[in-house]
Structure 1
Amino acid sequence: MKKIYISIFVLSAFTFTGCADDYLDVKQTETVSVDDIELFNNDNGAKTFVTSIYSKFLDWDMSSFGWIGLASITSDDADKGSTPSDTGTDKDVLDALTYNASNPSAESTFNANYDGINRCNQALAIIPKLDKADPALRARLIGEAKFLRAFMYFTLVKCYGGVPIVDHVSSIPLSPEDKTMQLTRKTTAEVYAFIEKDLADAIQALPNRTAYADSEKARASKGAAYALLAKVSLYQKNWQKVIDNCDLITGYGLAPDYAKMFRLEGENDIESIFEINGNGAVPARGIQGYSNTQGVRDSWGWGFNQPSQSLVDAYETGDVRKDATIIFRGTTLYDGTVVPTVELEEGQTDPNPRYNFKAYSSAFTNAWETDANIKYLRYGEVLLMKAEALNELSRTSEAITLLNQIRHRAKLGDTPAASQSEVRTAIWKERRVELAFEFDRFFDLVRTGQAKDAFAADKSIYFPNGRVFTVGKNEVFPIPASFILQAEGLSSQNPGYN
Structure 2
Amino acid sequence: MKLVLRVLLFLLVVIGLVTCEKLEENLLEGPIELSTQEQRFLTESDCDGAVRLCYNALAFDDWWQVHFWRLCNDAATDDAWVGDTVKNYDINPPRISNNPLDSNKARNDTIAAPPFKRRLEIMQAGHYTLDTRGERLRDFYQSNFKGIFLCNSAIAGLSTSKIAENVKNRLTAEAKFLRGFYYFELVKNFGGVPVITSVVTTEYLDTMTRASVAKVYRQIKQDMTEAAAVLPTLTEQNAKDRGRATQGAALAFLAKAELYDGNWETALNAAKKVIEAGDYALEPDFGQLWNPSNVNSREFIFSIGTGVWPFNAFGNPIPLMCGTRAEKGWGYLCPTSNLEQHYLADQDSVRLKWTIIKHQQPVPGDTTKRFNARPDVSKSARFSRKLYTPSEQRFGGSGTKLPHNVIFMRYADLLLIAAEAAYHTNNTGIAIEYLGQVRQRAKLNTNPGLSGSALLNAIYKERRSELAFEGHRIFDLRRTKQLNQIFGTLGSFVTYNLGSTDFYETSNKREKQDKGIKYTANKHELWPIPQDELNRRRGLRQNPGY
- Same fold, judged at TM 0.5 (above): yes
Whether 2:542 is the aligned partner of 1:493: answer yes
Displacement of 1:76 after TM fit? 1.2
Counterparts of residues 136-147 of structure 1 (less than 5 Å): 136-147=166-177
| Equivalent residue, structure 2, for 1:275 | 303
In 2, the alpha carbon distance for the partners of 1:380 and 1:447 equals 19
In 1, the alpha carbon distance for the partners of 2:312 and 2:166 equals 24
Answer with 458-467 or 366-375: which moved more.
458-467
Counterparts of residues 334-349 of structure 1 (less than 5 Å): 334-341=365-372
| Equivalent residue, structure 2, for 1:72 | 74
Q: Deviation per CA, 1:221-254: give whole Å up to 9, x if none.
A: 0000100000001111111011110111021111
Which letter does structure 2 place at the counterpart of 1:393? T
In 2, the alpha carbon distance for the partners of 1:491 and 1:342 equals 44
In 1, the alpha carbon distance for the partners of 2:306 and 2:237 equals 18
User: Cα–Cα, structure 1 residues 437 and 414, in superposed 2: closer, same or farther, change >3 Å?
Assistant: same
Whether 2:466 is the aligned partner of 1:434: answer yes
Answer with 296-305 or 109-118: which moved more.
296-305
| Equivalent residue, structure 2, for 1:186 | 211
| Equivalent residue, structure 1, for 2:48 | 47
- C-alpha contact 2:523 2:544 (8 A) present in aligned 1: yes
In 2, the alpha carbon distance for the partners of 1:438 and 1:268 equals 18
| Equivalent residue, structure 2, for 1:4 | none
| Equivalent residue, structure 2, for 1:329 | 359
Unmatched 5+ residue regions in structure 2? 1-9, 27-32, 90-118, 498-504
In 2, the alpha carbon distance for the partners of 1:242 and 1:453 equals 26
- C-alpha contact 1:80 1:95 (8 A) present in aligned 2: yes
User: Cα–Cα, structure 1 residues 452 and 191, in superposed 2: closer, same or farther, change >3 Å?
Assistant: same
How many pairs does the alignment contain? Answer: 467
Whether 2:336 is the aligned partner of 1:308: answer yes
Whether 2:417 is the aligned partner of 1:415: answer no
Displacement of 1:304 after TM fit? 0.4
In 2, the alpha carbon distance for the partners of 1:158 and 1:280 equals 31
In 1, the alpha carbon distance for the partners of 2:218 and 2:123 equals 35
Displacement of 1:433 after TM fit? 0.7
Whether 2:249 is the aligned partner of 1:224: answer yes
In 2, the alpha carbon distance for the partners of 1:91 and 1:106 equals 10
Unmatched 5+ residue regions in structure 1? 1-15
Q: 2:523 aligns with which of 468, 473, 494?
A: 473
In 2, the alpha carbon distance for the partners of 1:277 and 1:392 equals 34
Displacement of 1:31 after TM fit? 4.4
In 1, the alpha carbon distance for the partners of 2:373 and 2:472 equals 31
- C-alpha contact 2:35 2:199 (8 A) present in aligned 1: no
In 2, the alpha carbon distance for the partners of 1:383 and 1:74 equals 25
User: Cα–Cα, structure 1 residues 202 and 342, in superposed 2: closer, same or farther, change >3 Å?
Assistant: closer
In 1, the alpha carbon distance for the partners of 2:74 and 2:373 equals 26
| Equivalent residue, structure 2, for 1:381 | 413
> Aligned to 1:81, what secondary structure does the other structure show?
coil
- C-alpha contact 1:75 1:441 (8 A) present in aligned 2: yes
> Aligned to 1:99, what secondary structure does the other structure show?
coil
> Aligned to 2:13, what secondary structure does the other structure show?
coil
Q: 2:157 aligns with which of 118, 126, 148?
A: 126
Displacement of 1:482 after TM fit? 1.2
| Equivalent residue, structure 2, for 1:457 | 492
| Equivalent residue, structure 1, for 2:124 | 93
User: Cα–Cα, structure 1 residues 369 and 341, in superposed 2: closer, same or farther, change >3 Å?
Assistant: closer
Displacement of 1:268 after TM fit? 3.3
In 1, the alpha carbon distance for the partners of 2:439 and 2:43 equals 49
In 2, the alpha carbon distance for the partners of 1:62 and 1:277 equals 18
Displacement of 1:334 after TM fit? 0.9
Displacement of 1:161 after TM fit? 0.4
In 2, the alpha carbon distance for the partners of 1:86 and 1:113 equals 32
- C-alpha contact 1:63 1:287 (8 A) present in aligned 2: no
Displacement of 1:259 after TM fit? 1.1
Q: Deviation per CA, 1:434-474: give whole Å up to 9, x if none.
A: 01111100010011111112222222544434523211000
User: Cα–Cα, structure 1 residues 338 and 19, in superposed 2: closer, same or farther, change >3 Å?
Assistant: farther
User: Cα–Cα, structure 1 residues 31 and 20, in superposed 2: closer, same or farther, change >3 Å?
Assistant: closer
User: Cα–Cα, structure 1 residues 126 and 102, in superposed 2: closer, same or farther, change >3 Å?
Assistant: same
Which letter does structure 2 place at the counterpart of 1:372? H
Displacement of 1:178 after TM fit? 5.3
> Aligned to 2:64, what secondary structure does the other structure show?
helix
User: Cα–Cα, structure 1 residues 21 and 322, in superposed 2: closer, same or farther, change >3 Å?
Assistant: farther
- C-alpha contact 2:133 2:531 (8 A) present in aligned 1: yes
> Aligned to 1:320, what secondary structure does the other structure show?
helix
User: Cα–Cα, structure 1 residues 318 and 311, in superposed 2: closer, same or farther, change >3 Å?
Assistant: closer
Counterparts of residues 20-31 of structure 1 (less than 5 Å): 24-25=20-21, 26=23, 27=25, 31=35
Which letter does structure 1 place at the counterpart of 2:530? P
In 1, the alpha carbon distance for the partners of 2:67 and 2:528 equals 19
Displacement of 1:21 after TM fit? 11
> Aligned to 1:415, what secondary structure does the other structure show?
coil
In 1, the alpha carbon distance for the partners of 2:252 and 2:194 equals 24
In 1, the alpha carbon distance for the partners of 2:15 and 2:349 equals 45
- C-alpha contact 1:208 1:221 (8 A) present in aligned 2: yes
User: Cα–Cα, structure 1 residues 168 and 213, in superposed 2: closer, same or farther, change >3 Å?
Assistant: same
| Equivalent residue, structure 2, for 1:401 | 433
Answer with 256-265 or 240-249: which moved more.
256-265
Q: 2:200 aligns with which of 170, 187, 197?
A: 170
Q: 1:259 aligns with which of 267, 287, 290?
A: 287
In 1, the alpha carbon distance for the partners of 2:66 and 2:323 equals 15
| Equivalent residue, structure 2, for 1:11 | none
In 2, the alpha carbon distance for the partners of 1:311 and 1:302 equals 21
Displacement of 1:54 after TM fit? 1.6
In 2, the alpha carbon distance for the partners of 1:350 and 1:417 equals 42
In 2, the alpha carbon distance for the partners of 1:24 and 1:339 equals 48
* Identity rate, percent: 30
Which letter does structure 2 place at the counterpart of 1:107? R
In 1, the alpha carbon distance for the partners of 2:387 and 2:53 equals 23
- C-alpha contact 2:292 2:404 (8 A) present in aligned 1: yes
